[in-house]
């Protein structure tokens, strides 16, 4: 896994100015191997983590964030999203017949 930090996420969003990129968040319990169906029950999980994956065309980044660091990461992620969404175009919606007749 490549460690995803604020600078790399900023670079990923700047590369995707003319295209798109995706970010996914998933609950992660820290296990790398699947649990067996039979046998001993798995050990209880004391703390869940968040698995975050970012992808743009050919570049893929991922990281695991602990519960106590998730707020700090989300604040940094929010700042990056606000600065990178300046090129969005407003979609024009067609007026319906009922609005045209009444308005």
Token pair for 13: 């969003």
Which residues, 6+ apart, have CB-to-CB distance to 72 below 8 Å?
none
Distances (CA, A) of 37 to 30, 40, 42, 48: 18, 9, 10, 21
pLDDT tens digits along 2-59: 455 556 777 777 776 667 788 899 988 877 777 777 776 666 777 888 888 888 877 8
Instruction: List, in sequence order, every residue forming a beta bridge with 56; answer none if it has no partner.
Output: 21, 59
pLDDT tens digits along 43-101: 677 788 888 888 887 788 888 888 888 888 888 888 877 877 776 778 888 887 765 55
pTM exceeds 0.85: no
CATH of 6-102, one of 3.30.720.10, 3.30.2010.10, 3.30.70.1400, 3.40.50.2300: 3.30.720.10
CA–CA separation, 51 vs 45, rounded Å? 15
CA–CA separation, 6 vs 36, rounded Å? 37
Whether 50 contacts 36, CB under 8 Å: no
């Amino acid at each position: 896994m490549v460690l995803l930090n604020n600078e790399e996420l900023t670079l990923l969003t700047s590369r995707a100015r003319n295209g798109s990129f995706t970010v996914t968040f998933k609950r992660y319990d820290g296990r790398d191997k699947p649990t067996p169906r039979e046998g001993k029950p798995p050990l209880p999980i004391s703390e869940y983590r968040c698995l975050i994956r970012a992808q743009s065309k050919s570049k893929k980044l991922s990281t695991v964030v602990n519960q106590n660091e998730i707020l700090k990461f989300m604040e940094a992620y929010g700042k990056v999203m606000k600065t990178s969404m300046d090129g969005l175009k407003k979609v024009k919606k067609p007026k319906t017949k009922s609005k045209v007749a009444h308005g």
